Amino acid sequence: MSDRPLLLLDVDGPLNPFRAAYLRHRGYVTRRLHPANWSARQKPGSRRLRRGLRVRLHPGHGARLLALPYELAWATTWMHEANEMIAPVIGLPELPVIEWPELFARDPEGLYWKMRTVVEWAAGRPFVWVDDMITDLDVQHVTDHHDGRALLLPVDARRGLGAREFAELEQWARSL
């Protein structure tokens, strides 16, 4: 384990701007993939299942993420499939994976369903979490329940990770 802060990566939203108005985001490539979690929620034999999930990825994101002073890990519903299906397209090596005890579980206090597991997984280490579903309630939860420094960086699912987010990641790491 390194002494560098963690950078916890969600796929859909930050790396795959799935809400983008245009199908051809500059520099992005489109893949049709069949992640198990998504496939299990499709009607068997449906056209949608046969075609696969459309995922837009930027091949340059891996190099940009690796250049940052962080230890990278996946914090996504793709879990280990992110290493198989996402990492090769964007140029990342195999990364550690946060395994969710239950996907999309309702939190009794209204937190984002990933929140408690993220804090537990970080185990007091400084971390940044990039996700498109982060709320103010989640930020407050981290403030109240995480002993280390943390930045929850919401990413617009219409744009994905961009220059502004990369600059903020760089600046936050330098501030430690």
Cα-based distances in Å from 136 to 32, 79, 85, 109, 121: 33, 25, 31, 13, 20
Q: Residue for token digits 């309630």?
A: 137
Residue 1 has pLDDT above 60, yes or no: no
What is the model's pLDDT at position 54? 94
Strands 127-131 and 71-74: unpaired
Residue 23 confidence class, pLDDT cut points 50, 70, 90:
low
Q: Which residues of 94-117 are buried (b: 16+ CB within 10 A; e: fewer)?
A: ebebbebeeeeeeeeeebbebbbb
Encoding tokens for residue 140?
A: 């407050």
Architecture (CATH level 2) of domain 6-19+58-174: 3-Layer(aba) Sandwich (3.40)
HSE-up of residue 106 (Cα within 13 Å, Cβ side): 1
Percentage of the chain lying above the pLDDT 70 cut: 98
Q: Which two tokens stand for residue 111?
A: 């937190």
74-118, pLDDT tens digit by residue?
999 999 999 999 999 999 999 999 999 988 889 889 899 999 999
pTM, 2 dp:
0.94
Give per-residue pLDDT as tens, 153-163: 999 999 999 99
Residue 9's closest CA among 60, 59, 83? 83
* Domain boundaries of the chain, sorted by first residue: 6-19+58-174
